[in-house]
Structure 1
Amino acid sequence: MSDVVARLQETRTAIARAARDFGRKPESVTLVAVSKTKPVEMIVPVLGAGQIDFGENYVQEAKEKWPALRERFPQARVHMIGPLQSNKARDAVALFDVIQSLDRESLAKELAREIERAGKAPLLIVQVNTGAEPQKGGVLPGEADAFLELCRSRYGLTIAGLMCIPPADDPPSPHFALLGKIAERNGLKTLSMGMSADYEAAIQLGATHVRVGSAIFGARG
Structure 2
Amino acid sequence: MFTVYVYVLDTLADWELGYVTSELNSGRFFKKGAQRVTLKTVSASKKPIRTMGGLTIAPDCLIDDMAVSETSVLLLPGATTWNDPKHSAIIKKAGEFLSTGATVCAICGATAALASFGLLDHRPHTSNGQGFLEMVAPGYKGQSFYVDKPSVSDDNLITASSTGALLWAKQIIEHLGVFGADTLEVWYEYFSTGKPDRFFALMQTLPSSNEN
Q: If the TM-score is normalised by the length of the shorter chain, which range does it land in?
A: 0.3 to 0.5
TM-score between the two structures when normalised by the length of structure 2 = 0.34
- Judging by fraction of residues, say which structure has more helix: 1
TM-score between the two structures when normalised by the length of structure 1 = 0.33
